[in-house]
Amino acid sequence: MIRLLTSVAALRCYLRGYRTQNPDKLVGLVPTMGGLHLGHLSLIQRARSENSLVVVSIFVNPIQFGPQEDFQKYPRLLEADLQQCEQAGVDVVFAPEVGEMYPSSMQTMVIPLASMMSGLCGASRPGHFQGVATVVAKLFNLVQPDRAYFGQKDAQQIAIIQRLVQDLNWPIEIIPCPIIRESSGLAYSSRNQYLTQDEKQQAAVLYRALRRGQEHFQQGCSVATEIKQIVQAELDTEPGVQVEYIDLVEPETLIPLTTLDTTGLLAVAARVGTTRLIDNLILRHRQPIIAIDGPAGAGKSTVTRQIAEALGLLYLDTGAMYRAVTWLVLQSGIEIDDQPAIAEIVSQCQIELIPDGEQPRTVINSQDVTEAIRSLEVTANVSAIASQGAVRQALVKKQQAFGRQGGIVAEGRDIGTTVFPDAELKIFLTASVQERAKRRLLELHAKGQTDITQEQLEQDIAQRDHLDSNRAISPLRKAVDAVEIQTDNLTIDDVIQRAVSLYRETIINKT
């Protein structure tokens, strides 16, 4: 049953009680201003799939609106929003009045980095991002979520909030979610309801123009002025669209780019009639990333290594990274359950994966540990180390650093959903419990271990699947845009051939 809370006191009381009873459960927050649409619902669905408790805030924040903006007429449809939240499985809706969020005595404001507010939407909306940062800071303090979900349409807002979280050391994971679009390409927005039918058709030019810019980039142009000219030319085909800005910036710092070397945010703002709309696309100049996820025993490691070799990409051995950290902990004499000491050592270590034929070399703090990490002692302790949140968080950041230039193939439980959500190709490799048990039984028999039955293995694998899918940290998830390969009755060569074909279809043929 969904709970509607409207006061700070009630929200704190509810969350305090929940966390007392569920200390290890994750809380996800979806901040909104209401007027919910399919874009918001995609954030809620993502939060629902990744957290035990989902809180949606509905609050039209007055301090992020300018004097001539649409604060008074902004859609306020609480009953309809509540129905949609309940259908989507939301646990709590926090919908305070203005006086509850901003008592008359409140004077504190959160002011983000000036360079991140001066361009894009900030140029025409002075004070807007201070208002956004302030209300988000209040919501983070009130809810104290483990994860918070924002739509990529508000890319400048996401960059500012990510910097805020980083600078203020909030233990919150910011999850940017893809833009959801109408069939015309128009990005869903609460303000779309201001548009007439004719204006909606005109507004579709924003996405078309961004796509033209993207196509020009993919054809080899990396000069920002030329890409922006292509966007402008397409926007000019709709005289009723008044362009406010077209810009190409670095996605994290929002610094304007003159040439695009790796990644750029191509963004546009325009008015259609009296309605202001924004949209954007990410342009990337990097080698592809292939993310392979799937349940234990599906053959991910073997297949991933050989796919990387077949395509000339780096095999990002995430398992070796966890083993290297485990080796370092053991060498340092740290107790396995001393999580603060382990958090400190993993946050400061340097890990390298150096290509060297079929088996990349693993180096930690300048020491080659390729062979050492396969010892029985490391094997016996790696699961205990890998299950610690601080280890997981630190290694995800290191894995993402490897991925900045692309050119890698990685496998795991949440590579395509969490580590590389922007991977060019995502594969979910799976097999039935019976098939995985049969494969494991053959392996054990080959080693002379004949004292276990297929039925026992099936029970063990089913239990492992349940645990992996319901982990608080790094649960097994199939990305919504992943291609599933069911490997029952397929050989390793069959799977590799299928993956290489997918690579050619989805990546090479598009470039």
pLDDT tens-digit series, residues 398-445: 999 988 889 999 998 889 988 999 899 999 999 999 998 888 888 888
pLDDT of residue 412: 87
- Residue 511 clears pLDDT 60, i.e. is over it: no
Q: Residues 378, 415: one domain?
A: yes
Q: Are residues 118 and 209 in the same domain?
A: no
Name residues whose C-beta falls within 8 Å of residue 21's C-beta, 6 or more positions apart in sequence: none
Residues in the chain: 511
Residue 461's closest CA among 443, 429, 491, 439?
Answer: 439
In a domain, 331, yes or no: yes
Nearest to 95 by CA among 58, 62, 145: 58
The single-letter DSSP state of residue 76 is: -
Mean local confidence (pLDDT), 302-324? 90
Does the residue 82 lie in any domain?
yes
Same domain, 275 and 294: no
| Stretch (H or E) spanning 316 | strand 314-316
202 plus 261 within the same structural domain? yes
What does the pLDDT read at residue 10? 98
Q: Which residues are known to be catalytic? A: 40
Tell me, yes or no, whether 134 and 198 share the same domain: no
pLDDT tens per residue across span 250-293: 999 999 999 998 899 999 999 999 999 999 999 988 889 999 99
58 in a labelled binding site: no
Statement to judge: residues 485 and 364 lie in one domain = yes
390 and 311 part of one domain = yes
Rounded mean pLDDT, 227-249? 97
- Binding residue per annotation — 279? no
- pLDDT of 45 > 60? The answer is yes
Q: What's the pLDDT score for residue 285?
A: 84
Confidence label for 358 from pLDDT (cuts 50, 70 and 90): low
- Whether 84 and 169 share a structural domain: yes
Of residues 233, 228, 174, 241, the one with CA closest to residue 202: 241
425 annotated to bind ligand: no
What are the residues facing 179 on neighbouring strands? Answer: none
Q: CA neighbours within 13 Å on the CB side: how many for 208? A: 14
Q: Is 397 annotated as a binding residue?
A: no
**Is 180 annotated as a binding-site member?**
yes
Q: What is the pLDDT of residues 127-157, one digit of tens each?
A: 999 999 999 999 999 999 999 999 999 999 9
The pLDDT of residue 444 is 83
Is 297 labelled as part of a ligand binding site? no
- Residue 149: phi and psi, rounded to 5, are -115, 130
- The neighbour count for residue 18, using CB atoms within 10 Å, is 17
E strand segments, 59-157? 92-94, 147-151
Residue pair 12/36 in contact by the 8 Å Cβ criterion: no
| 386: in domain | yes
Tell me whether residue 183 is in a domain.
Answer: no
* 190 assigned binding-site residue: yes
Cα–Cα distance, 22 to 402 (Å, whole number):
35
For 245, the 3-state DSSP assignment is: strand
152-175 pLDDT, tens digit each: 999 999 999 999 999 999 999 999
**Nearest residue to 267 via CA among 177, 191, 156:** 156
39 annotated as belonging to a binding site for a ligand: yes
Asked if residue 189 belongs to a known ligand binding site, the reply is yes
Closest C-alpha to 120, from 148, 146, 154, 89: 154
In a domain, 464, yes or no: yes
Among the ranges given (81-90, 94-103, 195-204, 394-403), the one the predictor scored with the smallest mean pLDDT: 394-403
Structure tokens at 164: 């805020």
The 10 Å Cβ neighbour count of residue 426 is 25
Is 257 in the same domain as 358?
A: no
For residue 32, give the nearest of 10, 47, 50 by alpha carbon: 47
The per-type count for the chain, helices as H runs and strands as E runs, is 18, 17
pLDDT at 355 over 90: no
pLDDT of amino acid 68: 84
Tell me the CA distances in angstroms from 398 to 91, 245, 416, one per residue in order.
34, 35, 16
Does the pLDDT at position 17 exceed 80?
A: yes
- Which of the four pLDDT bands, split at 50, 70 and 90, describes residue 30? very high
CA 264 distance to own-chain centroid: 17
Is 398 assigned a ligand-binding role in the annotation? no
Q: Which residues form the domain of 248?
A: 190-284
Decide if 184 is inside a domain. no
- 431 inside domain: yes
User: Could you tell me how far CA 356 lies from the centroid of its own chain?
Assistant: 31
Antiparallel, parallel or unpaired: β 263-272 and 275-284: antiparallel
- pLDDT confidence tier of residue 510, bands split at 50, 70 and 90: low
Statement to judge: residues 268 and 311 lie in one domain: no
Integer Cα distance of 33 and 240 in angstroms: 28
Q: Do 291 and 277 meet the contact criterion of CB atoms below 8 Å apart?
A: no
Is there a domain that residue 182 lies in?
no
Domain boundary among 228, 258, 284: 284
- Of 177, 206, 223, the residue at which a domain comes to its end is 177
- Residues 302, 237 share a domain: no
φ, ψ at 282 (rounded to 5°) = -95, 130
| Domain end point (choices 143, 177, 211) | 177
Q: Phi/psi zone of residue 401: left (φ > 0), alpha (ψ -120 to 50 degrees), beta?
A: alpha
Residue 509, pLDDT score:
58
Q: H or E stretch including 8?
A: helix 8-21
Query: Per the structure block, which two tokens stand in for 15?
Result: 């969350």
Pairing of strands 425-430, 289-293: parallel
Q: Indicate whether 437 and 299 sit together in one domain.
A: yes
Any binding-site annotation on 36? yes
Q: Is 363 exposed, middle or buried (0-12, 13-18, 19+ CB in 10 A)?
A: middle
Phi, psi of 88 (to 5 degrees): -85, 0
What residues contact residue 76 under an 8 Å CB cut-off, 6+ apart? Answer: 34, 35, 60
Average pLDDT over residues 231-244: 96
User: What does the pLDDT average to over 377-383?
Assistant: 89
On the question of pLDDT at 297 being above 90, the answer is: no
Residues 6+ apart with CB under 8 A from 42: 151, 177, 178, 180
pLDDT tens digits, 486-502: 999 899 999 999 999 99
Residue 188 assigned ligand-binding role: yes
- What whole-number distance in Å separates Cα of residue 311 and Cα of residue 505? 13
Count of domains forming the chain? 3
Q: Are 241 and 153 in contact (CB under 8 A)?
A: no
Q: Is 66 annotated as a binding residue?
A: no
What is the three-class DSSP state of 275? strand
Q: Are 313 and 287 in contact (CB under 8 A)?
A: yes
